Each structure stands twice: as structure tokens, then as C-alpha cells.
Amino acid sequence: MPVVECLDVGGTHTRYALIENEKVLVKERVETRCENAQGLLDFIQEVCVRNRSRAGVSGVNVSCAVLPGPVRKGVLLNAPPLGLQYPLDFSCLEGVLGNAVIIENDLNAAVRTELEKGVGRTVDSFYLLALSTGIGAGIVLNGKAVKGLAGEFGHCVLDASSNAFLCACTRRGCWSAYSSGKGLEMQARANGFEWSASGVFDHALNGHEIACEIVKRARAFNARGLGVMVNALEVQAIVVMGSLGLNRFKEVVPLPGEVGCFTVNPVPRIVKTALADDLGWEGAYFLGMDFLDR
């Protein structure tokens, strides 16, 4: 029976699962370590070796890692949430792990899970919007997940003014610079505060003026960004995932009326995913099984 190793490498946490014949043998959630490209490869190898040994598994058929950045032909082109600005080829891991290694954009994988097990069972066109360390969207149109370089809405420039905030992608004024976890931290830093994204919300709850301003701006830019998405394609739902999207939904996800200020198309319903933390690694599992079925 095939053994599939799944990794969802996020900007903050990495989720791992080792699955044999549809049974999860071992699962782990650890902090992502990525000081540079080689550091990320070492980290992935370390997580795999540790969990294989925990599960007592010696042979794996395929390892599938999903990552927060565009992927083309097995190469991660860049990953701003991981601080990687240059292409990274993962094929060198095949030698050390002793099996095929495939990679995919995390949202292209997550959208597959939402299609098979979530909102995809009731509608045939939807967005899966990740509001997390970064911002991006998976797209399903007419029952099919859009593949390849797509859905990088987080890097749409929504503020072209000269004092626009800096984005992790090195440009200025992107949606992500205003509303992603990394963006919230960078805005806090620009004001002299070393706050984490959740720290920003904690300070806002306590009425801190700068923190309140950052949260208010994040919501306002989410309305503009969602407006861009609604104008781009006709979908029946926008499903929200990611740590900010799920844990801070009420604070940062605008109501359809707020989004409607920026659209010519009607705004569909905007809902939280019911699948939460499992979207990424389960998507990796589907992709791993596709690879073995080929």
C-alpha cells in the first residue's frame, strides 16, 4: 500500500502527516525554520526523518510538500512568507529521502481539499482565500482547480502612493503589505513597535491607538482586495482560510456591503472554511496520490 508523506510548509508553522493506505500514521505541527534556502531543505529533511522513525516506516513512495509561493516544474520560484526571493529546486531532496519529491503551491493544494471535501460539494466555482502570513487565493472554476501561476492577489498593488507600505515581496503598496500577518508586523515596526501579528490584535483590543489603526486599515484593504477578486471572476462563494482569516474573521473580513464599494459584479457569500488546519497537508496527500496514479 502506498505511503505518502505530506508537508504543508507555512510562513510560521509546518504541518506534517505520514499516511499509509489512507490511515494517518503520524502527524506533527512544528515551527517552520527557514534562515535561508539550504536551511529550508535541511528543515524538511529533518522533519521527515524524525517522523518516519516515530512511525517506524522505512520506505515512502512519495513526499509532497506544499509551499507559500509560485511553483513551476518542481521549482519554487520565490516565497515571500519564508523570506525566499530566489528560485529553489527541491529535487536534491530525492537523494537524501530516497523517494520521489513533488512540490506545489500551498493554495493550489488546499483548494483541492476544499473542492473534494468542503464547499466544492455544493458549488462549482469558488475562491479559497488565505489570509495568513501572506495573502493568496486558490481558484476553482466549473468544478476544476486552476493550476499553475494564478491567484497571487496578495501582490496586487492597491496603494500606488509614494508613502505606500513595503511588502515582503520587496514592492510597495501590495494588498499583503496592509492585511497579511507579515504586513501587520511590518506596519507595527514602521511605527516603532516589535509586535507579532496577534500582538497587534491584542493591543488593539486594549485600545492602543496605533494598533487600532493597523487593524482598521487591514480590514479596509481586505475590502479592496476582495473587490479585485470579485471583479476578476464570477464565483458562488469566497471561502476564507489561514490563521488571520479564521481566528480574526470578525475583525478583518469585511461584510459583502463593504466589498461592494469596490465591485461592479455582485459580491458572493464570504464564509470560513470548515476544514481549517487540514487543508494544506490533505491537499498535499491528494497531489501525492495523483502522482502515484500516473
Q: Which is nearer to Zn ion, 51 or 179 (CB)?
A: 179
**In the complex, least distance from residue 10 CB atom to Zn ion, rounded to whole angstroms:** 17
**In the complex, least distance from residue 125 CB atom to Zn ion, rounded to whole angstroms:** 26
Q: Which of 155, 182, 224, 248 binds Zn ion (CB under 5 A)?
A: 155
Q: Which of 169, 215, 253, 270 binds Zn ion (CB under 5 A)?
A: 169
Q: Which stretch binds Zn ion (CB under 5 A): 15-23, 51-59, 166-174, 192-200?
A: 166-174
**Cα separation of 277 and 239, whole Å?**
14
Q: Which is nearer to Zn ion, 174 or 279 (CB)?
A: 174
Residue 174 near Zn ion by CB under 5 A: yes
- Beta carbons within 8 Å of 158's beta carbon, 6+ residues apart: 173, 174, 175, 178, 221, 224, 225, 228
**In the complex, least distance from residue 14 CB atom to Zn ion, rounded to whole angstroms:** 22
- Beta carbons within 8 Å of 275's beta carbon, 6+ residues apart: 113, 114, 117, 118, 241, 282
Q: Which is nearer to Zn ion, 163 or 206 (CB)?
A: 163
**In the complex, least distance from residue 76 CB atom to Zn ion, rounded to whole angstroms:** 16
Q: Residue 256 corresponds to which amino acid? A: P
- Beta carbons within 8 Å of 193's beta carbon, 6+ residues apart: 203, 210
Residue 167 near Zn ion by CB under 5 A: yes
- The sign of the CA dihedral 228, 134, 130, 283 is positive
**In the complex, least distance from residue 155 CB atom to Zn ion, rounded to whole angstroms:** 4
Measure Cα distances from 126 to 46, 153, 176, 233, 276 in Å: 36, 14, 21, 9, 16
Residue 84 near Zn ion by CB under 5 A: no
Residue 129 near Zn ion by CB under 5 A: no
The backbone torsions φ and ψ at residue 145, rounded to the nearest 5 degrees and listed phi first, read: -75, 130
- Write the DSSP assignment of 182-204 as a string of letters: HHHHHHHHHTT----HHHHHHHH
Q: Which stretch binds Zn ion (CB under 5 A): 17-25, 45-53, 171-179, 222-230?
A: 171-179
Q: Which is nearer to Zn ion, 113 or 179 (CB)?
A: 179
Interacting residues toward Zn ion by CB under 5 A: 155, 167, 169, 171, 174
